[in-house]
Amino acid sequence: MPFSSTDLESLHRQLRFLSAEVARVERERDKRVNDKELVIMKKNTRNERTQRAFSKLKAEHNRLREEAVVNVHHSAQLKHEINVLCVENRAAKQRIKDLEDAFMTNPDAKLRLKIKLLCVKYHPDHGTATLSSTEVARDLIVLLS
């Protein structure tokens, strides 16, 4: 079946139109694909940043958890030390009270306390200065008076 020249021209026009239409559809498809690729790349970048931030937060969380465990143990140790110090403080207060009672009731306690203070003063571990004989004599006179 032979084609006439008008049919050929019509077919050429249709071919050019369809070629142009195919090119237009391909450009639109390429634009949509590029837009979607851009969205995917942005989401991927955002996801990577989120993953890095999450990793940092997880590491910080683990560090804080370890620190909290250490602080719990340290707090328990400090509470124990406080309890020991409270017991020692009560014992010292009781000893002071006992010594004050003995000091008030026993006249020799004052003399013994003065002697003890002089012994501490003249002990070689409690000072490097040499004492003169007049200073020692003055201290003994005060002690005996």
> pLDDT tens digit string along 67-117?
999 999 999 999 999 999 999 999 999 998 988 888 788 877 777 777 777
pLDDT at 53: 97
Task: State the Cα–Cα distance between residues 109 and 23, nearest whole angstrom.
Answer: 118
Q: What is the pTM of this model?
A: 0.47
Structure tokens that stand for 5 in this block: 């020249």
Chain-centre distance for alpha carbon 112: 54
More confidently predicted of 101 and 54: 54
The single-letter DSSP state of residue 129 is S
Q: How confident is the model at residue 128 (pLDDT cuts 50, 70, 90)?
A: low
- Find all residues with CB under 8 Å of 28, minimum gap 6, and list them: none
What SS3 class is residue 139? helix
CA distance 4 to 11: 10
**pLDDT for the residue numbered 131:** 67
47 CB-side CA count, 13 A: 6
What pLDDT is stored for residue 75 in this prediction?
A: 95
pLDDT band at 134 (very low <50, low <70, confident <90, very high): confident
Res. 129 pLDDT band, cuts 50 70 90:
low
Q: CA torsion 27→28→29→35, rounded to 10°?
A: 110
For residue 77, give the amino acid letter. Answer: Q
Residue recorded with tokens 């979607």: 36
* Domain-wise residue ranges, the chain: 5-105, 107-145
pLDDT in tens, 4-53: 778 888 889 999 999 999 999 999 999 999 999 999 999 999 999 999 99
